[in-house]
Structure 1
Amino acid sequence: MGKTRTLLVGAALTGSLAAGLAVAPAQAATAGAATVQQAQSPQRHFFGPYHSRFGGGENFGHRSYFKGYWYKDGGRYWFFGDLFDRDRDRDYSYVWFRWHNRSGFHTKVFKTFGHRHFSTYGGFKKSSGFNDFKIRVCEGDNSFDDCGNWGDAF
């Protein structure tokens, strides 16, 4: 009976080792496919959060802010992000985008009462002289109230 038991245990051990070796190449192929997929997606460069200044007795938890990321794809720079107005005081929160290229400085301002998402903003090309992108957050009656400092996003 001892030899039969030893043979059964040996066969089970051999079978589990063979099954493990059969699974290992499949797992390696899956891991390799994930690595290739990651290599093909553009690298994200995160920035922020950039905050508005204190105003009207607000605490830090009620300041508006913007945070996001950029990446380069196909020779163009794309910007993504979110503007949050956290105090719900019925004053707008503003985000200013300022960039520079061969034709000079350009600005664009957006506003929200709550949350605003920005996707695929830009498409700037180095070949047109694009070399700077800054962000500033303001909050109040107009787009110049309680502005924070310009933050360098690129």
Structure 2
Amino acid sequence: QEEDEEIDVVTLAENDKRRTHNVLERQRRNELKLSFFALRDQIPEVANNEKAPKVVILKKATEYVLSIQSDEHRLIAEKEQLRRRREQLKHKLEKEFSFSLPTSINSSGCTNVCLGHSHISAESKAEVLYFYPSVWALHSLQIVYNCIFGA
């Protein structure tokens, strides 16, 4: 009878261990399933497909990540190209305007930025306005101040 009780205790311990293992395994599978759903929802191509197989989710996720990385590399290169262009324009601005923009006097006696200077190309003016609006704004404020206060 002692042997039977020992077997029952061992069997109970094994059953508890198996139940605990089953519960933990169920939790792991559920977390994995929820992770796949979360991943699926982030991928435009399969986001609306409730029945998307896991292998499809993984393949589309890989394609999506590669696409995003490609976009990132392209945008980094474009940003660098724009930075270099900005530096070129800055040097061109310094050269053409020497940070002292040409002005003329209008009929009311106030000075205006002289946009008609032949040595300043229309493209340069447009680029300066686009990339350095603050230069024009500060100069314009100085002109307005001079008109108002006669300085």
- What's the TM-score, normalizing by structure 2? 0.30
Q: Which has the larger radius of gyration?
A: 2
Question: Which protein has the bigger helix share?
Answer: 2
Question: Which protein has the bigger strand share?
Answer: 1
- What's the TM-score, normalizing by structure 1? 0.29
